[in-house]
A = this chain, B = another copy of it.
Amino acid sequence: MKDKIKYGMVGGGPGAFIGEVHRKAAALDGHLELVAGSFSSSAEKSKQMGEELGLDPRRVYSSFEEMAKKEAALPEDERIDMVSVVTPNHLHFPICKAFIEQGIHVVCDKPMTNTIEEAEELCRLVEKHEVLFALTHNYTGYPMVKEARHLVQSGKLGSLRKVVVEYPQGWLAEPVEEQGNKQAEWRTDPQKAGVSAAIADIGTHAENLVEYITGLQIEKLFADTTSFVEGRALEDDANMLVHYEGGVRGILYASQVSVGEENPLNIRVYGTEASLEWNQESPNYLRVKYPDKPEEIHKRGNLYLSDAAGFNTRIPPGHPEGFLEAFANIYKNVALTLQAKKNCKEPDKLATDFPTVQDGLTGVKFIHKAIESGKENHWVEMD
């Protein structure tokens, strides 16, 4: 705690959902302390949020530019080590850039940027300024997702053949963006969300989950994208055929008009020897199936699991951990890595396991290629 990482936040003003999630996730383990923020494009709202959070008013800023500059000018033991970027998509790039250029580490929401060029630029900046950059593909923070990755890496599944990943939601089945739903407004607005809605918002999580667990890169994809809700400019449903490297085949789909679905992000990976299945709504369990013996349910918190699963676990088996704990694993691992860095120590290898700026670039490319395939109606190569 003497080493508590100081962080600031851009976005996450009054009523924002994801900003509050970040703050709770950062608070959970006691490794981080929120000390500064530019919480809204409205200076007044930013101030109000700072008060609610009990921050020193001098460190509540009315713009991210001001915040980046002024924080960087503070004494080293006072200024923020890191910034959390939790705004709508189109602002990620300028904000990240501003802080990276001040040598401030970044935790940023996905998708990383709205264009491939911006994503590539961030990769360059991260390298140049030697900052740590973490992207909140939070589903990879679940212990049993880490266990899934471990099982694949350890060869338990044999050679991989097929991956089926799906992320159906129902909350955009009606034109709620026209009915005052703030979350829906910017996510369906090309000015803010970029070229894509469903793929950018949740399809990238599915894509990242596959890559995290299997290590496989997409070679090409064929997307069938639809806007079901009248008047919506961006797709709210996307079904894809995917070819991964090594001849692995897949289906990936993201939908926000699947009425009645909440967040059952589900992945099935089939190898020559075994297969696995994990579902976000029941995240403490990992199913492993074999051709010739009983199905197994691997359960979070047990000693038979891998170090990676154990490292990201807080409480014993049978007492469920959820979304916030998985999200917090990104913050915890970032904090542990930064603490090591500050103390000139090698961080625990397990702590360095969080999504990076490269994952961000992959995700942005994926979005653009999928949208291109949907429009052009043909297979699109990833690179």
Please list the residues of chain A having a beta carbon within 8 angstroms of any beta carbon in chain B. 1-4, 17, 20-21, 23-24, 27-30, 51-55, 161-162, 164, 166, 168-170, 173-174, 222, 224, 226, 228, 237, 239, 241, 243, 249-251, 253, 255, 257-264, 268, 270-275, 280-284, 288-299, 301-304, 314-325, 377, 379
Contact = CB atoms under 8 A, between A and B. Distances in A.
Contact of A259 (B249, B282, B289): B289
A263 B315 CA distance: 12
A274 B258 CA distance: 9
Given A280-B319, A294-B296, 19 more contacts: A2-B51, A17-B315, A23-B30, A27-B29, A161-B228, A162-B237, A164-B253, A169-B318, A170-B270, A170-B291, A239-B251, A255-B270, A259-B270, A262-B299, A281-B318, A282-B320, A294-B304, A296-B297, A322-B322
Contact of A222 (B224, B243, B257, B291): B224
12 contacts: A2-B54, A24-B29, A161-B257, A174-B291, A239-B251, A257-B270, A260-B289, A263-B319, A264-B318, A293-B304, A294-B302, A314-B324
Copies in the complex: 4
B162 A255 contact: yes
Contacts of A263: 316-319
Nearest to A377: B379
A303 to B, nearest CB: 7
A60 to B, nearest CB: 12
Contacts of A320: 280-283, 320, 322-323
B237 A239 contact: no
Contacts of A28: 24, 27-28, 324
A255 B271 CA distance: 13
A239 to B, nearest CB: 5
Contacts of A268: 168, 258
A103 to B, nearest CB: 25
A168, A253, A263, A319 — which one has the most chain B CB atoms within 10 A of its CB?
Answer: A319
A377 to B, nearest CB: 8
A17 B316 contact: yes
Given A2-B54, A27-B28, A314-B24, A272 B249 contact: no
Given A257-B161, A275-B259, A295-B260, A224 B249 contact: yes
A349 B177 CA distance: 33
Contacts of A21: 314-315
Nearest to A241: B224
Contacts of A170: 270, 275, 289, 291
A20 B24 CA distance: 16
Contacts of A379: 377
Nearest to A290: B260
Nearest to A276: B260
B239 A260 contact: no
A261 B249 contact: no
Nearest to A174: B291
Nearest to A158: B259
A319 to B, nearest CB: 4
Contacts of A317: 262-263
A232 to B, nearest CB: 13
B289 A261 contact: yes
B262 A275 contact: no
Contacts of A272: 173, 259
A122 B271 CA distance: 41
Contacts of A27: 27-30
A1 to B, nearest CB: 2
Contacts of A295: 260, 296-297, 299
